[in-house]
Chain A
Amino acid sequence: MPPSNIEIEALKNVVINIGGIEEEEEEWETMGPTPMPGIADLRNWDYKLLKRYKPFYAPYCEMCCFCTFGKCDLTGGKKGACGLGMAAQQARFVTIACLMGCSAHTAHGRHLLRKVLKIVGDREINMGTGINIEAPLTRLITGIKPEKLSDFIPVLEYLEEQIAQLLDSTHTGQEGSNLDYESKAYHAGMLDSLGKEVADLIQIVAFDLPKGDPDAPLVEIGMGCVDESKPVILVIGHNVVPSVAVMDYMSDHGLDERIEVAGICCTAIDTTRYSQKAKIVGSIGRQLRFVRSGVADVIMVDEQCIRADILEQAKRIHAPLIATNDKALYGLVDRTNDSVDDIVAILASGKEPGVVILDPVKAGEVAVRVVQITHEKRKELVNILTDEEFKEYVTMCQNCDANCIVACPQGLPIGEANKAAAKGDTAPLASLFDPCVGCGRCEQVCKKHIPIVDVILKASLPYVKSEKGMIRVGRGPVRDTEIRKVGAPLVLGTIPGIIAIVGCGNYPNGTKDVYRIAKEFAERKYIVVLTGCGAMDAALYRDKDGKTLYEKYPGDFDGGCVLNIGSCVSNAHIHGAAIKVAAIYARRNIRGNYAEIADYILNRVGACGVAWGAMSQKAASIASGVNRIGIPVVIGPHGWKYRRAYLGRKYVDEDWVVYDARDGSKVQIEPAPEHMLVAADTYQEAIPLIARLCFRPTDNSMGRQVKLTHYMDLSMKYLGVYPDDWHIFVRGEADLPLARKEEYLRILKEEHGWDVDLEAKKILSGPVRKMDVGFDATNLEELIKKNK
């Protein structure tokens, strides 16, 4: 049901009622069946997905303590006092996690809109000549075509209403079906994608960030790229408005070259989209280590992915903290209404360790003025351990392995490394720097009170100082003009896929895995798009010619290119690219037409998300949103802790039947894509799996050849064998890569029992189905032509 203040008449003009002002939108596209869908409106589509990709649960906690009936033990099929079983409780938990994530992105969008309407006013949304479909998700989900920033107000109202409805459904005594909770998690995921699009478009328009620029400038990244001789403002979080104010104040006062602004997490990415004077320290995993390094003279935080103990960490290095967002206040005094001079004096004197300033422009000015004073005061401080202290600590270590190793989420052998360092070999300790996620759990439990994070940092200093990469600043959306070029090869499979590396830095074995994954697929001419922490970490490594991925590969949306799309909220443009393939290449109406477009993407667009270090609830909602629109996601091993995966069973034939929309006949297809959400343990396992998840039923023979070539090669390269299921993707001899045709035909005959005429190089029987050029695959009855 549409929200009450928004009235939509199908196929007629849309009437949007905002604060009593009624505006008529022109008819720009026929309205589809589900503008502003409510919880149950896309349930039919969700159930189609859930039938094929059944939710798989790995409870992280087998109990429930949500209400005072509990704690309830749900193990072994037991139900809680309210009647809820284990599967539904897991699905409820996932729904709540997705709601946290989509609330973060939506509230971010709301905050941005409020602030930018004050700062820059109500600007027209003009995405430049290459982009006509300015807001594909907004059009798809709400049926609204936004023309100016305030047109996002009804979109945000829709989001906020749906979030409240969904959160209500998680209360004790509401939903009892795990499948319906999954449908709700999908709904939250879809809302998340919309919230992200709103947030990113607002900042792109308000701050004139790149609008799909393939040649977006390169900037420095890494812990070694910050010039410590200058005053350093460290910005952390996801909401760029206060950082923009910092850059503006510096620029207005001729301080650009005299002060360093360095960022961690998505605020860093977004600040460099605004001004290339800023630098990126890195992703979330570097946060504690960089703070401890003492380089920052002021720390300014906004929202999301900030350490909860940031105040304590800032105090430790005597750097004042400025909190700029009401979601994260750290118990500090709110000085928003005090004069800038007063606040600067308070922070410079150290009378208060930090302040809250909710006016971003004021916060920006304070940060720039204070940093020049604190930098001078902090010059004499030594924050990194001295050689003597280091030696003392590593010698104190008893290599007890009893405390730190069981506290470490990565299980890192800290004691062994300390022992080696005590004997003069610091290499084992330094080797822990990258796989360490910088959580600080180890040092809280060490009975010898060894500051383990500092010890690892000290041992890694030569590496840290040399950590300097290059990243292209977030380019934002994919242009319509680019989609026109790649639409056909993507759908036919000759560009074998879009690999979308997204999400956080909770990697199983350090940052290099994302570089390896991106490089492998870029070399093979997939389109590699990255956002957020993944985009940053992939930028830290160089090839033998000294080039990072962003320097080596072009930034266009095309095969063999590597694109930094932007921050977490820019993920929406990856959905946007897939939607534009349907809209531009296939000329499908997208307005209020979610299920049809998701069905199109599922069956035709060979894209695969990779959230290798997924950690946050936002990553949970991002993945759910990507899945609902028909794109599978591979997660790293920590992703098992999200409790739920969506896994296909390729041996259950009935799960792999679709309609041919031309006549409604049922067609048995190969499992393409086989899973919706699946974890891999190592990058070597993930790479062939990602290639497998790029198969789509509508690949033409040339496309299938290309995809099979990569799948087989990658499996052989990383696993030492051909995959055991490759034959099910073969629909006829034309699907076989020419270079290996004879070898593959022989394997099909000898190992899989297919009837093959080796001399004529013909497959006589064996495949699940024959290749059919006109096959119009759909999972939706309503898309069968005769039903239309």
Chain B
Amino acid sequence: MEIPFDIGNISGPENARVAQPEALGRAIKNAKRPLLVVGSEILDDDLIEKAIAIGKKGIPIAATAHSMKGFVDRGYTENVHLTGLHELANNIESRDWMGFDKTGGYDLIAVLGGIYYSTSQFLIALKNFATDPIVRCISIDRYYHPAARMSSVNISRKHTDEFKKMLDKVIENI
């Protein structure tokens, strides 16, 4: 069993299933309306390139914190939408929100590159309150996120190359 990246972050009896990158990629692929939510940490270690690769597969990107600046700097803003994480969670939970493209909500949320503890709270909010219709959340981050439905494992910063390889496998399977 994996431990949460912040060890005390055990909120209840249900914790995320650890999943292989292939399964995480397929979950994104099989979703009807997936959304990739990225945070400020994609500006480290060139992770933004992986986010752009996912965006190029047609997956819309919610750019939280100041990650938008990274996309602008790289000239990729095609399907990237500026938002705050709190605001986004509140919108996802709302039946009135029609998504960034104004055609409807999302059925799968994948998180990458957010601050661990705020992303964890984001996931736990959706787990408990984005239930009608249900929204599934997965983590493709370097952290195990127990509040997601499926999650990657903790991969330490000294193994960033491994983490990037893991992301490549996720991307291959989308």
Q: Which residues of A contact B (CB under 8 A)?
A: 54, 56-63, 73-77, 86-87, 399, 401, 405-407, 409, 411, 413, 415-416, 508, 637-638, 640-641, 645, 647, 649, 651-652, 675, 678-682, 684-685, 689, 718-721, 723-724
In the complex, the answer to whether B121 meets A62 with C-beta atoms within 8 Å is: no
- Is A58 a contact of B82 with CB atoms below 8 Å? no
Nearest CB of chain B from residue A671's CB, rounded to whole Å: 11
Q: How far is the CA of A77 from the CA of B131 in the complex (A)?
A: 9
Bound: A399/B154 CA distance, A: 15
B135: CB under 8 A from chain A?
A: no
Within 8 A of A (CB), among B109-139: 114-118, 121-122, 124-125, 127-129, 131
Residues in B whose Cβ lies below 8 Å from that of A77: 128, 131
Q: Does B90 contact A (CB under 8 A)?
A: yes
Instruction: Tell me the chain B residues, 122-174 only, with Cβ under 8 Å from chain A.
Output: 122, 124-125, 127-129, 131, 154, 156-158
Kindly state the separation between the CA atoms of A413 and B127 in the bound complex, as whole angstroms.
Answer: 29
Q: How far is the CA of A640 from the CA of B114 in the complex (A)?
A: 13
The distance in angstroms between the C-alpha atoms of A77 and B72, with both chains bound, is 41
A to B CB contacts below 8 Å, 13 in the list: A58-B122, A59-B12, A59-B128, A63-B13, A75-B12, A75-B14, A406-B6, A645-B90, A651-B97, A681-B85, A685-B84, A720-B71, A720-B73
Closest chain B residue to A86, Cβ basis = B128
Closest beta carbon of chain B to A685's beta carbon, Å = 5
Q: Which residue of A lies closest to B40 (CB)?
A: A682
| B164 CB to nearest A CB, Å | 17
In the assembled complex, B77 has its CB within 8 A of some CB on chain A: yes
Are the CB atoms of B3 and A720 closer together than 8 Å? no
Q: Which residue of A lies closest to B3 (CB)?
A: A406
In the complex, A684→B7 CA distance in Å? 28
The answer to whether A638 touches B117, judged by C-beta atoms less than 8 angstroms apart, is: yes
Residues of B within 8 A of A73 (CB): 12-13
Give Cα A416 to B156, complex, Å.
Answer: 10
Instruction: State whether A723 and B12 are in contact (beta carbons under 8 Å apart), knowing that A406-B7, A640-B121 are contacts in the complex.
Output: no
Residues of B within 8 A of A (CB): 3-7, 11-14, 39-40, 64-66, 68-69, 71-73, 77, 81-82, 84-87, 89-91, 93-94, 96-98, 114-118, 121-122, 124-125, 127-129, 131, 154, 156-158
Number of A-B contacts (CB under 8 A): 150
CA distance A436 to B69 in the complex (A): 26
How far apart are the CA atoms of A63 and B154 in the complex, in Å? 25
Name the A residues within 8 Å of B156 (CB-CB): 401, 405
| Cα–Cα, bound, A649→B131 (Å) | 18
In the complex, what residue of chain B is closest to A508 when comparing beta carbons? B115
A538 to B61, CA, bound (A): 35
B72 engages A720 (CB within 8 Å): yes
| Chain A interface helix/strand/loop/mixed | mixed
Q: Are A411 and B12 interface neighbours, CB within 8 A?
A: no
Q: What is the distance, in angstroms, from A635's C-beta to the closest C-beta of chain B?
A: 9
Question: Which partner residue on chain B sits nearest A722 by CB separation?
Answer: B82
Question: Smallest CB-CB separation from A409: which chain B residue?
Answer: B6
Are B118 and A681 in contact, with the CB atoms below 8 A?
yes
B65: nearest residue on chain A (CB-CB)?
A681
Q: Which residue of A lies closest to B4 (CB)?
A: A406
**B82 partner residues in chain A, CB cutoff 8 A:** 719, 721, 723-724
Residue in B closest to A401 when the chains form the complex, CB atoms: B156
Best-surrounded residue of A58, A637, A675, A723 (most CB of chain B within 10 A)? A58
B158 engages A399 (CB within 8 Å): yes
Which 4 A-B residue pairs are closest in the complex by CB-CB distance? A62-B12, A720-B72, A684-B66, A640-B121
With A638-B117, A685-B65 known to touch, is A56 a contact of B125 (CB < 8 Å)? yes
Kindly list chain B residues whose C-beta atoms are within 8 Å of the C-beta of A652.
Answer: 94, 96
CB within 8 A of A58: which of B89, B115, B116?
Answer: B89
Contact B84 A718 (CB under 8 A): no
Contact B11 A641 (CB under 8 A): no
**Which residues in B have their C-beta under 8 angstroms from that of A719?**
66, 68-69, 72, 82
Contact A637 B115 (CB under 8 A): yes
- Contact of A685 (CB < 8 Å), options: B66, B73, B81, B128: B66
* A681 CB contact (under 8 Å) in B5, B39, B81: B39
B72–A721 touching, CB < 8 Å: yes
Across the interface, name the chain A residue whose C-beta is closest to B13. Answer: A73
The answer for the CA separation of A151 and B118 in the assembled complex, in Å, is: 45
CB B73 to nearest CB in A, in angstroms, measures: 7
Q: Which of B6, B72, B86, B124 contacts A678 (CB 8 A)?
A: B86
A377 to B36, CA, bound (A): 61
**Residue from the set A54, A62, A74 with the largest chain B CB neighbour count within 10 Å:** A62
* In the complex, chain B residues whose CB is within 8 Å of the CB of A721: 68, 72, 77, 82
CB distance from B137 to the nearest CB of A (A): 13
- A682–B66 touching, CB < 8 Å: yes
> Which residues of A have CB within 8 Å of B118?
637-638, 640, 679, 681
- CB <8 Å contact, B69 and A406: no
Known A-B contacts A56-B93, A413-B157, A647-B87; the reply to A406 vs B114 at CB < 8 A is no
| In contact, B66 and A718 (Cβ under 8 angstroms) | yes
How far, in angstroms, from A409 to B11 measured CA to CA in the complex?
16
Task: Tell me whether A60 and B121 are in contact (CB under 8 A).
Answer: yes
Complex-state Cα separation, A24 to B157, whole angstroms? 70
Given contacts A637-B115, A637-B117, A649-B91, contact A411 B5 (CB under 8 A): yes
How many Å from the CB of A333 to the closest CB on chain B? 34
In the bound complex, residues from chain B placing their C-beta under 8 Å from that of A685 are 40, 64-66, 84
- Kindly list 12 other residue pairs between chains A and B, CB separation below 8 angstroms, not including A63-B11, A637-B115, A684-B65: A409-B117, A416-B158, A645-B90, A647-B86, A651-B96, A681-B84, A682-B65, A682-B66, A685-B40, A720-B68, A720-B69, A720-B71
Give CA–CA (A162, B154) in the complex, Å: 47
Chain B residue nearest in CB terms to A639: B118
B131: A residues at CB distance < 8 A: 76-77
